Amino acid sequence: METTSIRLGVDFDNTIVCYDQVFHQVALQRELIPPELPVSKAAVRDFLRTRGREDDWTQMQGFVYGSQMKDAQPFPGVLEMLRNLVRGGVEVFIVSHKTRHPYQGPKYDLHQAAGGWLQQHGMFDADRIGMPAENAFFELTLPEKIQRIADLRCTHFVDDLPELLGEPDFPANTAPVLFDPNRTHAARCQFFRMESWNEMEDALAIPNGHCTRP
């Protein structure tokens, strides 16, 4: 595979960063969930929503993505894979859709917190991963994220949201890759579905603009 022609775009939240542990921990500290609830961001969200506690969930998101961002963990294998891709000549870009401040609660700078997490984990360190800092983009709206993917001429884009990959304006020449570590979308077949970062090389084998597995 010719890696020098690949321009890989990657989402940030729930694709590079796994929030399961930190959301569960914060919810326990705030006595919002029972201890036996599965250690999962989705489980915490669903538990609170079924009990009419949407405001608690919204406020907790701002707290986690702001103050507690440093405690979030990368998905297994993602940092090693990105390092190997960068060293192998793949151009890697991070393109995220994220508001500047939370909808409720303290006005944490969520872009700054996300950038700090990337620095903390060596994303821009030449001795660790080595992606150029100017290759990380945090867009304020979904249309701006899609336009950025197009402007960067990404040959492949990895995201955890099938809704984004299926947007009518998603670039036709970009191969959509669905990151689905919890097999939430196992029945969905219109995208190449990646359950772990170990499958990244298979995803990059998809020709530009092709959606399904060869």
- Cβ atoms within 10 Å of 160's Cβ, excluding its own: 21
pTM: 0.91
pLDDT in tens, 159-177: 999 999 999 999 999 999 9
| Same domain for 93 and 27 | no
Task: Name, in order, each residue with C-beta under 8 angstroms of 83's C-beta and a sequence gap of 6 or more.
Answer: 128, 129, 130
| Same domain for 103 and 30 | no
Bridge pairing between strands 73-74 and 17-18: antiparallel
DSSP, collapsed to helix, strand or coil, labels residue 91 as strand
**Is residue 123 in some structural domain?**
yes
| Angle, CA of 102, 171 and 118, to the nearest 5° | 40
| Same domain for 171 and 189 | yes
Question: Tell me, what CATH number does 149's domain have?
Answer: 3.40.50.1000
Q: 181: buried, middle or exposed (CB in 10 Å: 19+, 13-18, 0-12)?
A: middle
Q: For residues 99 and 187, give the distance between their C-alpha atoms in angstroms, rounded to a whole number.
A: 31
Q: Percent of the chain at pLDDT above 70?
A: 94
| Same domain for 108 and 39 | no
Q: How confident is the model at residue 4 (pLDDT cuts 50, 70, 90)?
A: low
| Same domain for 193 and 163 | yes
| Same domain for 173 and 153 | yes
**Is residue 210 in some structural domain?**
no
Q: How confident is the model at residue 214 (pLDDT cuts 50, 70, 90)?
A: very low
Q: Percent of the chain at pLDDT above 90?
A: 84
- Residue 46 structural domain: 20-71
**Is residue 101 in some structural domain?**
yes
**Residue 3: pLDDT above 80?**
no
**Is residue 90 in some structural domain?**
yes
Please choose, from the candidates 49, 60, 48, 65, the residue with its C-alpha nearest in 3D space to the C-alpha of residue 14. 65
Pair of tokens at residue 68: 């507690």
Q: What is the mean pLDDT of residues 85-106?
A: 92
DSSP, collapsed to helix, strand or coil, labels residue 139 as strand
**Is residue 24 in some structural domain?**
yes
pLDDT of residue 103: 83
Give yes or no for a contact between 20 and 41, defined as CB atoms under 8 angstroms apart.
yes
pLDDT of residue 1: 47
| Same domain for 178 and 82 | yes
**Is residue 209 in some structural domain?**
no
Q: How confident is the model at residue 185 (pLDDT cuts 50, 70, 90)?
A: confident
pLDDT of residue 32: 97
DSSP, collapsed to helix, strand or coil, labels residue 27 as helix
Number of domains into which the chain is organized: 2
Give yes or no for a contact between 154 and 93, defined as CB atoms under 8 angstroms apart.
yes
Domain end point (choices 47, 71, 95): 71
Please choose, from the candidates 166, 174, 164, the residue with its C-alpha nearest in 3D space to the C-alpha of residue 203. 174
| Same domain for 63 and 131 | no
| Same domain for 62 and 84 | no
